[in-house]
Chains A and B, each alone.
Chain A
């Protein structure tokens, strides 16, 4: 709505020249008679980080699962522009093709690292597996890259052969991030990436994520109920209530000058530390 309004300003360039990476159009998901999310539309450009905020039950995770191709919407479309420049409607493609995208061009970071890692194999294998899925074959190179990425997410190189079961929650989450980013995805979906962590560990992870997102020019969609996390990581926000987007815009504008009654309530409910 705001985007459409922005296009018509006389003589004012709003910068819409390059094509978006991801386009959601009227995405709706019902669970029987219960609504998951309703009529969500937006465009995401390369290098842009979109935060989805709202309380639990507002439809954030349902929307994220639809966007990342893991849950078929009841209505609406999600289109993605591939590295090859092709625009694909992800739900009109075969499952295998969707999975290939998820393994190569996308990353999916789950709230609980145990859902996103293979707990029975070593840290190095967790990272290496993703490289092999993307076509890596040279064992020595895969192992070296895995070691590099462990260090990049601040895990000691000598933990390469340890299983994630021996890691703390914060280390497991960092390992999951390394596993997802090692193949240089163009788009990453994250569901409460800091949700299950202690505050001190959260700060470290946030700092790491900020750095990686900026350094690799990643586009990301991040679901969080934590407005401080949203402020630090997201360029823009969508605020969800009862399955619908009630407000969207530049992150600091939404948080410092919220317009919708629900956003004002959310922002005013945060405890000041």
Chain B
């Protein structure tokens, strides 16, 4: 098992808006094996993105555990120290968010090479692999040396995907990875996800595109609105 979510609770309390409480997840449990791709489904507001962000350690859980297999040991992402969460992200997890958080002045190729350099790959080899990754995603070569701030949504998304996939992490978290891509690039991303599961990666994803979902997912995990259940 690569990911084991047990009894996960998530509620937002909005102190600046009179302490309104918004329940998002209640008693959610989910296991994902190596080589398996699970698609999260359910209406918008059912907490799909929140679940992915909780597994990544981006959101803080109010209860439950999020066990991730990291370098042969079990780490609870809901309780681990910040530096442990960062180590798990660096070595074990790739996350594709819906938006690219742009770093000023850093060219696309260096953004993609950075996660490899953080793993100790030497600078030239990392850039080489980053270029190959961007090429496979059909990002025009003239963009590689530019900072992505001015890229289109689809171009930024491909930089994001390249960042997450370039180091072939054992766990992949994908939040709408194909949302702003055309059919040809969608097909590229589908084949990259299938290659990832084939080499043993555990994948949790949100895929609104039904065809993409059918092509990559081994099973669906249907989420219900916690606020209705509560």
Which residue numbers of A lie inside 8 Å of B, CB to CB? 2-3, 5-6, 9, 11-16, 45, 48, 203-204, 206-207, 210, 214, 232, 235-236, 249-253, 256-257, 259-261, 264-265, 268
24 A-B pairs with C-beta separation under 8 A: A3-B81, A6-B81, A9-B76, A12-B67, A13-B74, A14-B75, A14-B80, A14-B81, A15-B75, A15-B84, A15-B87, A204-B105, A207-B103, A207-B104, A250-B82, A250-B86, A251-B82, A253-B59, A253-B60, A257-B59, A259-B60, A261-B16, A264-B15, A265-B16
How far apart are the CA atoms of A76 and B226 in the complex, in Å? 45
- In the assembled complex, the CB of B173 is this many whole angstroms from the nearest CB of chain A, namely 14
A232 & B58 in contact (Cβ 8 Å cutoff): no
In this complex, how many residues of chain B approach chain A with their Cβ under 8 Å: the count is 30
* Chain B, 58-78, CB within 8 A of any chain A CB: 58-60, 67, 73-76
Q: Which residues of B have CB within 8 Å of A13?
A: 73-75
Residue B146 lies at the interface, judged by CB distance under 8 Å to chain A: no
- In the assembled complex, the CB of A268 is this many whole angstroms from the nearest CB of chain B, namely 6
- In the assembled complex, the CB of B59 is this many whole angstroms from the nearest CB of chain A, namely 4
- In the assembled complex, the CB of A141 is this many whole angstroms from the nearest CB of chain B, namely 26
Q: Which residues of A have CB within 8 Å of B60?
A: 249, 253, 257, 259
- In the assembled complex, the CB of A255 is this many whole angstroms from the nearest CB of chain B, namely 10
Q: Which residues of B have CB within 8 Å of A265?
A: 15-16
- In the assembled complex, the CB of B112 is this many whole angstroms from the nearest CB of chain A, namely 15
How far apart are the CA atoms of A12 and B67 in the complex, in Å? 8
Across the A-B interface, how many residue pairs have beta carbons closer than 8 Å?
83
Which residue numbers of B lie inside 8 Å of A, CB to CB? 12-16, 53, 57-60, 67, 73-76, 79-87, 103-106, 117-118
How far apart are the CA atoms of A13 and B75 in the complex, in Å? 6
How far apart are the CA atoms of A206 and B87 in the complex, in Å? 23
B79 & A45 in contact (Cβ 8 Å cutoff): no
How far apart are the CA atoms of A15 and B83 in the complex, in Å? 8
Please give me the 9 A-B residue pairs with the lowest Cβ-Cβ distance, nearest first. A261-B15, A203-B104, A250-B82, A236-B82, A15-B84, A257-B59, A12-B76, A207-B105, A13-B73
Q: Which residues of B have CB within 8 Å of A257?
A: 12, 53, 58-60
Q: Please name 6 further chain A to chain B contacts, defined as beta carbons within 8 Å, in addition to the given A214-B118, A257-B58, sorted by A numbering.
A: A12-B67, A13-B74, A207-B104, A250-B85, A253-B59, A256-B59
How far apart are the CA atoms of A180 and B60 in the complex, in Å? 36
A11 & B74 in contact (Cβ 8 Å cutoff): yes
Q: Which residues of A have CB within 8 Å of B80?
A: 6, 12, 14-15
Q: Identify which of B60, B73, B81 gathers the most chain A CB atoms within 10 Å of its CB.
A: B81
A256 & B82 in contact (Cβ 8 Å cutoff): no
- In the assembled complex, the CB of B166 is this many whole angstroms from the nearest CB of chain A, namely 17
Q: Which residues of B have CB within 8 Å of A206?
A: 104
Cβ contact of A207, chosen from B87, B106, B117, cutoff 8 A: B106
How far apart are the CA atoms of A235 and B58 in the complex, in Å? 12
Q: Given A14-B84, A250-B82, A250-B85 in contact, is the A256-B53 Cβ separation under 8 Å?
A: yes
How far apart are the CA atoms of A252 and B85 in the complex, in Å? 11
Q: Which residues of A have CB within 8 Å of B81?
A: 2-3, 6, 14-16
Cβ contact of B103, chosen from A5, A204, A232, A251, cutoff 8 A: A232
Q: Which B residue's beta carbon lies closest to that of A252?
A: B58
Q: Given A13-B75, A14-B81 in contact, is the A264-B59 Cβ separation under 8 Å?
A: no
Q: Identify which of A11, A13, A214 gathers the most chain B CB atoms within 10 Å of its CB.
A: A13
Q: Identify which of B13, B86, B106 gathers the most chain A CB atoms within 10 Å of its CB.
A: B86
Q: Which A residue's beta carbon lies closest to that of B106?
A: A207
Cβ contact of B58, chosen from A2, A214, A236, A256, cutoff 8 A: A256
Q: Which A residue's beta carbon lies closest to that of B87?
A: A15
- In the assembled complex, the CB of A20 is this many whole angstroms from the nearest CB of chain B, namely 10
A12 & B79 in contact (Cβ 8 Å cutoff): yes
Q: Which residues of B have CB within 8 Å of A9?
A: 76, 79
Q: Which residues of A have CB within 8 Å of B86?
A: 235, 250
